[in-house]
Amino acid sequence: MKILVINGANMNMLGRREPDIYGKEDYAALCARIYEHAQSRGVAVECFQSNHEGAIIDAIQEADTAFDGIVINPGAYTHYSYAIHDALKAVSIPAVEVHMSDIQKREEFRHLSVTAPACIAQIRGHGFESYTMAIDMLAKLNPEEK
């Protein structure tokens, strides 16, 4: 099984951006944790981050023929990007939306996710573990490939 992990706007600022919410570990540490966890499960992963909506849409579209699933943290695009929603709906592979913080316990504008309905699940509020939980969820969909 091969999973694409997509991180959206400002995720490259982990460790510096609101460490009381997102923690002090940086984006490289997040990717290292993702790679380590995936390898322990026999899953291949690729991490991708962009602050540009179009690049995220391109990555989703390209993943359709190259990957078996997507883990996506759209960042702030979660709350208004119908274009990312539509891209997720257009591909034939499952996606799981993740958030390090619990968006339901933050500012009211963060409560709505327009991208989650295009995903099979949303995992929020578990920090880096939100990603590992999503990888495990997708891996369970294709146990014969592990």
Q: Does residue 38 contact residue 93 with C-beta atoms inside 8 Å?
A: no
Mean pLDDT of the residues in the chain = 91
List, as one string, the DSSP characters of 52-111. -HHHHHHHHHHHHHH-SEEEEE-GGGGGT-HHHHHHHHHSSS-EEEEESS-GGGS-GGGS
What's the number of domains the chain is made of? 1
Q: How many other CB atoms are found less than 10 A from the CB of residue 144?
A: 5
User: Is 99 part of the annotated catalytic residue set?
Assistant: yes
Give the confidence band of 143 by pLDDT, cuts at 50, 70, 90: low
Among candidate residues 22, 27, 77, 131, the one labeled active-site is 22
Out of 27, 37, 77, 99, the active site residue is 99
For residue 44, what is the domain's CATH number? 3.40.50.9100
pLDDT per position as a tens digit, 69-103: 999 999 989 998 999 999 999 999 999 999 988 87
- Residues spanned by the domain of 11: 2-145
Report the predicted TM-score, pTM, of the whole model to 2 decimal places.
0.91
22-52 pLDDT, tens digit each: 768 899 999 999 999 999 999 999 999 999 9
